[in-house]
Amino acid sequence: MSATGATADPLAALGSLPGVPESVESVRKAVDRVYGHRIMRRRSNEITSEAALRGARGTAALSGADWALEEVRRRTDFSGDDEARAMGAALRLTAEAGQLLSIWRQSPLRVLARLHLVAAAGKEEQVGRPRQEGEPVDEPLVELPLPSAAEVHGRLEGLSEVIIAGGSAPALVTAAVVHGELLALRPFTSHNGLVARTAERIVLVGSGLDPKSVCPAEVGHAELGRTAYLAALDGYVSGTPEGVAAWIAHCGRAIELGARESTAVCEALQRGAA
């Protein structure tokens, strides 16, 4: 795992990288603002549903389906072209994520396999399992060198062990590392970006940072744009402290933007109720 070291709690040290404590604190304040909004006390289910829809739109945009939010609301058939299928996969993953929270800490690899199965929605032999040596990967957004199947297996096992062991690392750090590892490894033959961003969401919700899932980081990742996303990922893959810290900060900013989005939804609902 990139830059995680070999300590009993390998993610803990990342929390003290330059700039990371500030990102952690900024994220916490942004999340607290949403949860402190008076609309959240009465209509949190509506905020959660809206955040799920906007999060699905955001993650699909990064996978090539940059649709207007109203188009996502309107459509019922997602079986047409590649963009429609990407949007359908994003919506299915968003719905599935909440069902997997209790399994994640005990069996993260099982959850990742399930996420790929849901995203791919197919019965091909390579769906729902890590890729084997020589199998191609359809992930046009990420053009980094592809790790071997053996390296994928080893790093997935290491990531799984860290998650199961728990630790003292802030939720932002854990979520960013899970996200970064899955994008760097591209362990499946397809839909790796969608799976990685869904796994990030699962960590943020399951950690207790965003228990109602109202701060969709996917919204922020889309708003920050593909260029910034890939530049930050390059930093993570470099394994340098500066690069890893920049990736964590990027993920933190995405969460803050997701929180801002839901705050705006709260404000809109409040104006409508006035």
Above pLDDT 90, what percent of the chain? 84
Within 13 A of 269's CA, how many CA atoms are on the CB side?
A: 18
Does residue 6 fall inside a structural domain?
no
- Taking the C-alpha atoms of residue 264 and residue 29, their distance in angstroms, rounded to an integer, is 16
Amino acid sitting at position 190: S
> Which is higher by pLDDT, 125 or 22?
22
The CATH number of residue 196's host domain is 1.10.3290.10
Does residue 90 fall inside a structural domain?
yes
Q: Residues 2-22: pLDDT tens digits?
A: 444 444 678 999 999 999 999
What pLDDT is attached to residue 6?
A: 44
46-50, 69-73, 184-188: least confidently modelled range: 69-73
What pLDDT is attached to residue 5?
A: 42
Does residue 4 fall inside a structural domain?
no
Does residue 181 fall inside a structural domain?
yes
Could you tell me how many helices (H) and strands (E) the chain has, helices first?
12, 0
- Contact criterion met (CB below 8 Å) for 18 and 241: yes
What pLDDT is attached to residue 126?
A: 81
What pLDDT is attached to residue 124?
A: 74
Query: What is the C-alpha end-to-end distance of the chain, expressed in Å?
Result: 51
Q: Which domain holds residue 20?
A: 11-272
Q: Per the structure, how many domains does the chain have?
A: 1
Q: For 219-230, what is the mean pLDDT?
A: 97
Does residue 2 fall inside a structural domain?
no
- Taking the C-alpha atoms of residue 248 and residue 243, their distance in angstroms, rounded to an integer, is 9
Does residue 20 fall inside a structural domain?
yes
Give the C-alpha distances (Å, rounded to integers) separating 133 from 20, 34, 110.
Answer: 36, 45, 20
Q: What's the predicted TM-score (pTM) here?
A: 0.94
Q: Residues 142-173: pLDDT tens digits?
A: 989 999 999 999 999 999 999 999 889 999 99
Does residue 211 fall inside a structural domain?
yes
- Taking the C-alpha atoms of residue 153 and residue 33, their distance in angstroms, rounded to an integer, is 40
